Amino acid sequence: MNELELKNDLVEMEMNFIPNLVRIENAGIPVNKEALEEILIKDIELYEELNMKFKNDYGDLNPNSPNQIIKYVKDTYGITLLSSTKDVLVQHSEIPLATDLIDYKHYKKESDLIQKYILEDVLHPTFNQVEASSGRMSSSNPNVQQVPRSVKEIFYRPREGKVILKADYPAIELRIAAVYAKDMEMIDAFKNGKDLHRKTASLLYKKSEEEITSEERQKAKCANFGLSYGSGVPAFIEKAKADGVFLTEDEANQIRKNFFKAYKGLKTWHSKTGQEFKKSGSIFVTTLFGRKILVDKYTLALNAPIQGTGADMLKDAVNRFYKQLDLEGVPANIINIVHDEIVVEVDESYEEKGTRILKNAMESACNDILKEFKTNVDIRKI
């Protein structure tokens, strides 16, 4: 690698990750087939009921045909839909068809996934190491990185004599964005262990953190996750609505104005990125780990280095975990990786050691990159 000038931390990390990924795939994921089958039966019943409701209420309308849905809504309600995805439908919850279709899609998707999950007692999905240009992993056959929220808590079932541990990074993408943009206001909030959404709300509404209501905190949360990555006002309103938060255009404009007034580092980062795009149709962005990513959209230029840094961090944590695991001879294995979380199966008698090694690996991988504050990882047995 020296002759090819490829010797750097990123290449070394990716190369070391390969044998560890093989170990993860070979370990497999023990699933709770009985509990999943119970949910599947209920999902299929509800799905069939909704299918019948569609026939009774909407005639020959095919709920699986986006073109038919868009035409029906236009002809019946005079509303033009850009698509029939959930993100669009949730913005039109006043239309009965929209809510029926959201439920229909939910139960269909969930039942389709569960049927794939219960094919074996132990799943051996394929993990794709660099599926995305950002370095983010994906999984297939089946996809175990998009387990529906409603079944996450019962998805895993440890093999006899073992326990399953789950650890995730708290608000990791916002933490990365704060450091990437060198936003001292946001960095200070993380450094002092503050609730970032409450902190943001106090800056938006010019009130003390103690005076912030739950509604104001929720709006601030939408701002943190939307505005930090380049959403304009229309997209911000849409994303907030999808989370059950309804904003007028004037209110959204005011929130956006106050947000970037408070977080000057984010504003500067966005402005510089926008200026670079004016000079060229595409630019390279770099993760905090040194991964270069070619992007051709402004929003991608803001998202890719953040997601990419998170992916680099997680892979580094996996490498550190297995290195220490082997040094101490602890019988454990990572069985799943989901963007910001690692799931481990360990022998019951080694639970304490496995927990310590996992916690140290994830925290050290994060804190070595995000040096401005300390990030603690919570681990729980599931």
* DSSP code for 82: S
Residue 37 clears pLDDT 50, i.e. is over it: yes
Whose tokens are 């389709």? That residue is 112
pTM, rounded to two decimals:
0.90
CA 13 to chain centre: 22
* DSSP code string of 304-341: HHHHHHHHHHHHHHHHHHHHHHHHHT--EEEEEEETTE
Count the neighbouring beta carbons within 10 Å of the beta carbon of residue 138. 16
Q: Which residues contact 85 (CB under 8 A, 6 or more apart)?
A: none
The token pair at 29 is 């994921």
The token pair at 137 is 């992993």
**pLDDT digit string (tens) for 105-116?**
999 999 999 999
In a 13 Å sphere around the CA of 369, the CA atoms on its Cβ side amount to 30
pLDDT classification of 5: cutoffs 50, 70, 90? very low
Whose tokens are 């079932």? That residue is 157
Residue 255: its pLDDT value, please?
96
Q: CA-to-CA distance for 291 and 282, rounded, in angstroms?
A: 16
**pLDDT digit string (tens) for 188-236?**
999 999 999 999 999 999 999 999 999 999 999 999 999 999 888 888 9
The token pair at 102 is 């959201």
The token pair at 55 is 């026939």
CA 156 to chain centre: 19
Residue 149: its pLDDT value, please?
83
Q: CA-to-CA distance for 357 and 28, rounded, in angstroms?
A: 20
Q: CA-to-CA distance for 316 and 312, rounded, in angstroms?
A: 6
Residue 9: its pLDDT value, please?
85
* DSSP code for 105: H
Amino acid in position 98: A
**pLDDT digit string (tens) for 287-343?**
999 999 999 999 999 999 999 999 999 999 999 999 999 999 999 999 999 989 999
Q: Is the peptide bond before 148 cis (omega within 30 degrees of 0)?
A: no
Is the model more confident about 5 or about 188?
188
Average pLDDT over residues 267-285: 91
Contact between residue 180 and residue 286 where contact means Cβ atoms under 8 Å apart: no
* Pairing between β-strand 122-123 and β-strand 29-30 as defined by DSSP bridges: antiparallel
pLDDT classification of 1: cutoffs 50, 70, 90? very low
Helices (H), 263-297: 264-279
The CATH classification number of 1-31+140-183+270-382 equals: 3.30.70.370
- Angle subtended at Cα 56 by Cα 150 and Cα 68, rounded to the nearest 5 degrees: 75
Contact between residue 104 and residue 51 where contact means Cβ atoms under 8 Å apart: yes
Q: CA-to-CA distance for 257 and 252, rounded, in angstroms?
A: 9
Contact between residue 96 and residue 18 where contact means Cβ atoms under 8 Å apart: no
Residue 131: its pLDDT value, please?
78
**pLDDT digit string (tens) for 145-176?**
989 888 988 999 999 999 999 999 999 999 99
Q: CA dist 9 to 3, 127, 191, 360, 372, Å? A: 16, 22, 27, 20, 20
Residue 266 clears pLDDT 70, i.e. is over it: yes
End-to-end alpha carbon distance in the chain: 42
Q: 101: alpha, beta or left, given left = phi > 0 and alpha = psi -120 to 50?
A: alpha
